[in-house]
Amino acid sequence: MKFTPNKPEERREADVTVDAGLAPGVYRFRLEVVGAQSGRKSKPMEVLVRVHGRIPIPIPGPIPIPGPIIIDR
């Protein structure tokens, strides 16, 4: 599911798979459950989520392995 800031999303399923396309920043998510038969709403639950940008991790190059020491006499 792709979330758009300030746009409510309604779903019938309880599971949500979140698209990784949100820009870095702080987002407030609010969950409110509505009873399928009664139509009653739960008390809203809010949470703040901080999305971080990608941080490149440097990969070191090959490490040379010294060979045997040969002494020529």
Per-residue pLDDT of 30-55, as tens digits, reads 888 888 888 898 898 888 988 888 77
Arithmetic mean of pLDDT, 61-66: 81
What are the beta bridge partners of residue 50? 26
* Alpha carbons 52 and 27: distance in angstroms, whole number: 11
Residue 21 reports pLDDT greater than 80: no
Confidence class of residue 7 from pLDDT cuts 50, 70 and 90? Answer: confident
Tokens of 42: 């739960």
What is the chain's mean pLDDT, rounded? 81
Check residue 34 and report its DSSP letter: B
